[in-house]
A and B are shown apart, each in its own frame.
Chain A
Amino acid sequence: MSEHNKIGCGKFEALLQDYSNGELPRPDAEKLTAHLEDCRECREALEDARLAGRLVSVFQKTDDPSAMFTRRVMAQIDAAERWMREQRSFWRPIEALSWRLAFSAALALALLFTYSFRTPSPVTAPAASAVLVPQTDAFAVPISAPPSTGDEVLMAIAEKHHERY
């Protein structure tokens, strides 16, 4: 085999596949035929490909599906759809109930949170106002802070009343 052929063999690899199947366009086929005359390696490769093709042909083309094939497929699809419908009809009331329960629970939780955020805690509110306004007298109600408990409201009213008279 000449050096020229050795270099060229790689590019013929993909072409040999088409050549062995008779699918190579004429100009390329002629070039490859000329190459094959000189190149023993490519000739052997082609011979191998044909031998393998012959061996694999033992598997033959798969028989066409039976006449009932389409009907069987559609029957299977029909059965699968019916099963899915049945499943849906069985689970639907349970699903609806569980959605209602989930909605009620979410609503209750939302109400609970709103209530707990809106209503100030009786312990924390005076403490906060005590921090803002330093006091010397524990019983004196700071004027700037709005009364937060019932007692404070009463004391504020009493104080106002006392100032008036």
Chain B
Amino acid sequence: MTAALSVQGLQVAIGTDASSANVLRGVSLDLQRGEVRGVVGESGAGKSMLGRAVLPANAVIAAGTIQFEGRDLVAMPEPERRSLLGRRIALIPQDPMTSLNPVKRVGGQIAILLRHHLALSKRGALERAAELLAEVAIREPRRVLELYPHEISGGMRQRVLIAMAFACDPSLVIADEPTTALDVTVQRQVLQLVERLRQRHGAAVLFITHDLGVVAKICRTMTVLHAGRVLEEGETAEVLAKPRHPYTRALLAATPRADRPAEALRPVPPALIENLWSEAHRLDRLVVAGPA
């Protein structure tokens, strides 16, 4: 069976030719069907860029391949990719406050998605939208359909976005820090919802986050990213119990935990970070000088 997502040697640069910055430096990653993979790393590690490269955001893919269920997403013609997006591959965006259209009612926005991919009638789409909202445990879904995004809470908006992500039975969901903008109690509910829907729909999830606690809770496997490189990957339990890479160890030591005193917290040593970055830049120079 082909993997849900297979990324090989992905290099991504952003910006124009003259001042482009490497963001991903040869990332490889395999995601089996139904697998939940946590992608962790500090700000600027390239974790969001990895998610965006799969979706058509303004990323320039310099090298590498991205295969979705055995089909090459990079070489795929635009209309074909558009028919996959939102239907087979879905995104749960980072910020629920700004990811909904401010002047369209919730129902109308879900209907756009459903009508685009499933060719439903307007009435049928609204019916289905109400069912979807009920599935993410929104009470009075019919009333919520009538509301504008600014009239519902942040947690509820994130639920609407989750409902939209799972609306067309995707086999791959990219969750780009879906809990970052939410407070801790709402975070927990959102995580449980994602987990519940994932099981129901059997989708693979690429869960991008900087929160190791979240990864420990819902991800079976995890990937540690830094400076656009994969430093370590494996089963979550194993990586957290026996981290092999010094960066992963440092990251764990810097994570606050309820069962340890706050004094035990140690920041990631600056020397380690510096080392990793200079390694990454050395790699860049090698690539530039490389195929001459």
Report whether chain A binds chain B: no
Residues of A within 8 A of B (CB): none
